[in-house]
Amino acid sequence: MTNRQTFQAFKEKALQREEVHNEYNELKNQMVTARLAAHLSQDDVAKMLLTKKQYL
């Protein structure tokens, strides 16, 4: 069995890099803008994706 890190640990480590952090924030902003332009709530999107809403 390999000793794999959790996604959360991977994300935290990756976001320490400035270029990754900047790109992550840009993509997050694009997602929010698109969601608002479509007049959808976080719950609406979560239901479409068959998941739970996430607080980014």
Q: Is the pLDDT of residue 16 over 70?
A: yes
Please check whether residue 15 is in contact with residue 9, taking contact to mean a CB–CB distance below 8 angstroms.
no
Pick 33 or 2 by higher pLDDT: 33
**Which pLDDT score, from 0 to 100, does residue 1 have?**
61
The domain spans of the chain are 7-48
Quote the pTM value: 0.71
Please check whether residue 15 is in contact with residue 24, taking contact to mean a CB–CB distance below 8 angstroms.
yes
Distance CA 35, CA 56 (A): 14
Residue 21: name the closest of 30, 32, 12 by CA: 12
